[in-house]
Amino acid sequence: MLDTNVKNQLKTYLQNLKHPVELVVSTDDSKKSAELKSLAQDIVDSSALVSSTEATGLRSPSMTVINPELATSITFAGLPMGHEFTSLVLALLHSGGHPIKLDADIIEQIRTLPGQYHFETYVSLSCQTCPEVIQALNMMAAINPNITNVMIDGALFQQEVEQRNIMSVPSVYLNGESFSVGAISVVEVLNKLDKNAGSRKAEQLNQKSAFDVLVVGGGPAGASAAIYAARKGLTTGIVAEKFGGQVAETVGIENFISVSKTEGPKLVANLENHVKDYDVDVMENQKVVKIASNGLFDVELANGATLQSKTVLLATGARWREMNVPGEKEYRGKGVAYCPHCDGPLFKGKRVAVIGGGNSGIEAAIDLANIVEHVTVLEFDSILRADEVLQRKAKSMGNITIITQAQTTKVNGDGNRVTGLTYTDRQTGGSHEVTLAGIFVQIGLVPNTEWLKGVIDLTPRGEIIVDARGQTSIPGIFAAGDVTNTPYKQIIIAMGSGATASLGAFDYLIRHSDTDTNVVKVA
């Protein structure tokens, strides 16, 4: 199943096992089952501490990783290859006693969590967000025997997907009921299960001393800003809903100078590791809702905590723009999607639409055309804005139809899922309906600045207006990345602007340390 190079790597990883691990394999006569049996044998051959047995009556094909000492279990229903192979390796390591990279207080909170929790997580093996969710739940399952998690390949177990009306991944069920859709971290899971977790965390955050620089946002701009601030010897914090931002959902990155090709999750992991090389206080799973000046800057969080800082650097990034038409919100996750790489496999053999004719839209159409029956691209303008090479590729494929001057006016559905859409021909005024199973929205980004309206100067598009040093209309508040009016929303530009804004904040602190009451002297 595995090639020689991967087998050798696996043997190296499994040398970190501290105690035995058991594999329970359930198979049928399918090709995937044969491949899973081969994979299980490769794992057994890679370590003397791994054994394998066969079972019946379970989902087939499936493989359960068991720690016999703690009676923990983690199941992979399907063949955990692609992005999920890393999840399998981590499950083996964690079940075999290799240390789990979570804070000690989080591990203890998981270990003492009362109740029984059976998670089932539906994924697609091309989804880059899914492994984060699988790994989060698997870590919890490796710590507490009363928590189990089953990774289910949605493309393989289509009957279950249809029965549960799952049209977006990762989709998590807890004890048979829908629990979450999309990215979710260990802390977010705990906050949903442990109702007092949020208030306890707020109390901890309230005790923190004031920062020199507090970065709001954990994407490339925020990471760059934090590194530059820490290197200047400033007390630095990052507060963010999640580390990585939009980059974590980016599949292929080929324009990051000095790196010929990488993937979003890999780049995010490198950013996070680089930040951790410095004394930066990273506070994830925290949403900032308000900022005010009271001698220092007060940064209020959604959980009620307040952080203080001498300067603030806003790097909250942007999110996918919505169509804002009837039916879009009602059918989000039920046919309306924003990530073709994640959710595309769930529409295998069906007809879908892509809204938007820019690079993102045409790239999505090309990717989807290899999976689905047919793709209809709807572009509002009279021309496509995608690169010519992408347009040629799309037009050469036999199952992509491109319609320009098309204004989507409604998402149609039967109450459970999308059945099509309605659009207006902007040239003739005629209304048309298209029968579809899925709609992928790819019409650009919206800056995350709703909470800043009336606080600092924004452009009509909602972007933060910054000067050459990254400073906003309020002295001491800086901004960087896609959330600003800096043109060309690119990863490398966001990183550069993060460095610029951080150096701007450092310069501001030096020049105002003795004269401005809004800051105190930097040590």
Catalytic residue from among 153, 212, 343, 482: 343
Q: Name the H helices within 157-253.
A: 158-163, 186-193, 197-206, 220-231
Strand-strand pairing, 306-314 and 211-216: parallel
CA–CA separation, 225 and 238 (whole Å):
9
User: What's the burial of 349, exposed, middle or buried (CB within 10 Å: 0-12/13-18/19+)?
Assistant: exposed
**Residue 127 appears among annotated catalytic residues:** no
Tell me if 352 sits within 8 A of 372, measured CB to CB: yes
DSSP secondary structure code for residue 241 in this structure: S
Which tokens sit at 140?
Answer: 């919890």
CA–CA separation, 376 and 26 (whole Å):
40
CA–CA separation, 461 and 446 (whole Å):
8
Tell me if 511 sits within 8 A of 522, measured CB to CB: no
Catalytic residue from among 127, 153, 212, 342: 342
Q: Supply angle C-alpha 252, 153, 254, rounded to 5.
A: 5
Catalytic residue from among 153, 212, 339, 482: 339
**Residue 130 appears among annotated catalytic residues:** no
Sign of CA dihedral 158, 164, 168, 174: negative
Sign of CA dihedral 441, 442, 448, 454: negative
Annotated catalytic residues are: 339, 342-343
